């Protein structure tokens, strides 16, 4: 499930909803009694400790391990290795560049195909058309499924002789039948189509919620000014949707970087489906444990991920200051 990014935006200013909840004026901790401060300390301390021990310290350890050589067995065997794991990954490890390229393709495909499909569906379904709820339910159903299930279900579509696709194309059972998940010329795209099946519905729901929150008077005003549908959308709606647009951009990028389950299910991320996340795991827990190299790859993935994460955090929390 790691693919579902658990990112959301804080709701923007509530002006348009007409609710002017008096903003909470948080109290200063200093004014609390000793006992209350203790309680508060525990309420903060326990979650923070969990978070630190299980998320942040391991992240730092990964960085540390990336400068060592280790086969993952005896702690005493850890030896310093300088930058050699990085040079190995970049210069000697053949799957590295394909994996990076695949991650970029993954990202670009989500950004240019999957996400726009979701946006289009949201915009269409936001109209007062008949059956909109039914359509929404249909497009949303795959969002409930794990990427593993998506992979298994699409396996049934893509199988060489048994699959629906080749039967529809009339090639099933012939030598011309394409093995959609097995042929490295097409399997990345086949996996992306399967991913889109789920991703588009996700984006649709988020965007639809955003569109529903748009103040109707904005549209009315635009209509009164004589703007047509498209003009209204691009000049009025889209700018008003800025906060959610940012979420969607970030979600798309993070999904592109966290993709793992579906390719691991198909063929453990080999033969055309190499992704950075899978290479990390192959080196870390596979039969051949090369912790240093795996950690170096993990750090590279981390550094790339920090870009969108920081961008998102800055956009989100700047206002809160």
Partner 1 sequence: MTATAPIAPAAGRPRRHYGTHLFLVVMAVMWLVPLLWTLYAALRPKAVTDKYGYWSLHGPLNLDNFTAAWSQGGMATYFGNTLLITVPSVVLTLGFASMMAFAVSRFTWRFNLTLLILFTAGNMLPPQVLAAPLFEMFKHTPLPYSISSSGTLLDTYYAVIAVEVAFQMGFCTFVLSNYMKALPSGLTEAARVDGASVWQQYSRIIMPLTRPALAALGTLEVVWLYNDYFWPLLFIHSGDRLPITTGITNLQGQFLLDYNMIAAGATITVIPTLAVYLALQRHFVAGLTLGASKG
Partner 2 sequence: MASHNPTPFLESRLDRRTLLRGLGGGAAALAAAPLLAACSGGPAPSDPAVKATSVGSGLSDPVPRSAIQAMVDAFKAKSGATVKTNVMPRAQLVDNISSYLQSNPEDVITWFAGYKMRYYAAKGLLAPVDDVWAQIGGNFSEGLTKASEGEDGKKYFVPNYNYPWGFYYRKSVWQEHGYEIPGTFDAFRALCEQMKKDGLTPIAFADKDGWPAMGTFDYINMRTNGYQFHLDLCAHKESWDQQKVKDVFDNWKALLPYQDKAALGATWQEGARSMTSKKAGMYLIGAFIAQDVTDKEILADLDFFPFPAIAVEGTDAIEAPIDGFVLSKRAGSNKTAKDMLAFFGSGAGQDAYAAKDSSNLQTAKDANTASFSELNKKGAAAIADAKYISQFFDRDALPAMANNVMIPALQGFIKDGTIDTRAIEAQAKSLYAAE
Residue 112 in the binding site for partner 1 (CB under 8 A):
no
> Among residues 272 and 283, whose Cβ is nearest to partner 1?
283
Which residue's structure tokens are 């979420």?
A: 247
Residues in the chain: 321
Of 255-314, binders to partner 1 (CB under 8 A) are 257-258, 260-261, 264-265, 277, 280-281, 284-285, 291, 294-295, 298-299, 301-302, 305, 308-310, 312-313
**Rounded-to-integer distance, Cα 250 and Cα 302, Å:** 15
From the list partner 2, partner 1, none, pick the one residue 84 interacts with, judged by a Cβ distance below 5 to 8 Å according to partner type. Answer: partner 2
Name the nearest CA neighbour of 2 among 147, 130, 205, 105: 147
**Rounded-to-integer distance, Cα 158 and Cα 172, Å:** 10
Which residue of 67, 72, 105, 186 would you call a contact of partner 1, by CB under 8 A?
A: 72
CB of 87 to partner 1, least distance (A): 20
Residue 94 in the binding site for partner 1 (CB under 8 A):
no
Helix H, strand E, coil C: the string for 55-123 is HHHHHHHHHHHCCEECCCCCHHHCEECCCHHHHHHHHHCCCHHHHHHHHHHHHHHHHHHHHHHHHHHHH
CB of 195 to partner 2, least distance (A): 19
Q: Which residues bind partner 2 (CB under 8 A)?
A: 10-14, 17, 19-24, 69-74, 84, 88, 91-95, 160, 179, 181-184, 187, 209, 212-213, 267-268, 270-272, 274, 282-283, 285-290, 292, 319-320
> Among residues 20 and 228, whose Cβ is nearest to partner 2?
20
- Per-residue contact flags (x/-) with partner 1 for residues 215 to 254, judged by CB under 8 A: -x--xx--x-----xx-xx---x--xx-xx--x------x
CB of 175 to partner 2, least distance (A): 8
Write phi, then psi, for 95 (nearest 5 degrees). Answer: -70, -10
CB of 111 to partner 2, least distance (A): 25
End-to-end CA distance of the chain: 33
Q: Show the CA angle centred on residue 89, arms to residues 86 and 92, nearest 5°.
A: 120
8 A C-beta contact, residue 119 and residue 207: yes
Which residue of 107, 147, 177, 263 would you call a contact of partner 1, by CB under 8 A?
A: 147
From the list partner 1, partner 2, none, pick the one residue 238 interacts with, judged by a Cβ distance below 5 to 8 Å according to partner type. Answer: none
Residue 142 in the binding site for partner 1 (CB under 8 A):
yes
Paired tokens of 233? 């959308």
Which residue of 162, 174, 225, 239 would you call a contact of partner 1, by CB under 8 A?
A: 162
**Rounded-to-integer distance, Cα 132 and Cα 126, Å:** 8
Q: How many residues bind partner 1 (CB under 8 A)?
A: 141
From the list partner 2, partner 1, none, pick the one residue 181 interacts with, judged by a Cβ distance below 5 to 8 Å according to partner type. Answer: partner 2
**Rounded-to-integer distance, Cα 316 and Cα 2, Å:** 22
């Amino acid at each position: 499930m790691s693919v579902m990014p658990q990112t959301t935006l804080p709701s923007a200013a509530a002006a348009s909803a007409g609710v002017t909840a008096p903003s909470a004026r948080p109290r200063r901790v200093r004014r609390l009694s000793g006992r209350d401060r203790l309680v508060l300390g525990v309420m903060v301390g326990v979650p923070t400790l969990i978070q630190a021990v299980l998320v942040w310290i391991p992240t730092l350890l990964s960085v540390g391990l990336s400068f060592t050589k280790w086969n993952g067995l005896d702690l005493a065997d850890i030896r310093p290795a300088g930058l050699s794991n990085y040079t190995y990954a970049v210069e000697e490890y053949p799957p590295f560049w394909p994996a990076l390229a695949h991650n970029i393709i993954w990202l670009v495909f989500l950004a240019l195909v999957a996400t726009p499909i979701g946006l289009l569906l949201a915009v269409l379904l936001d109209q007062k058309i008949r059956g909109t709820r039914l359509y929404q339910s249909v497009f949303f159903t795959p969002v409930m499924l794990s990427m593993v299930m998506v992979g298994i279900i699409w396996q049934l579509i893509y199988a060489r002789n048994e699959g629906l696709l080749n039967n529809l194309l009339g090639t099933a059972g012939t030598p011309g039948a394409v093995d959609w998940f097995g042929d490295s010329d097409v399997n990345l795209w086949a996996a992306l189509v399967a991913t889109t099946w789920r991703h588009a519905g996700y984006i649709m729901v988020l965007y639809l919620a955003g569109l529903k929150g748009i103040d109707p008077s904005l549209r009315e005003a635009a209509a009164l000014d004589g703007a047509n549908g498209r003009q209204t959308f691009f000049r009025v709606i889209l700018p008003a949707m800025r906060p959610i647009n940012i979420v969607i951009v970030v979600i798309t990028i993070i999904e592109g970087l966290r993709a793992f389950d579906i390719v691991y299910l198909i063929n453990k991320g080999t033969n055309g489906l190499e992704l950075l996340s899978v290479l990390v795991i192959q080196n870390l827990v596979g039969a051949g444990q090369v912790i240093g190299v795996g950690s170096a790859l993990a750090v590279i993935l981390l550094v790339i991920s920090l870009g969108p994460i920081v961008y998102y955090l800055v956009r989100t929390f700047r206002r809160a200051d």
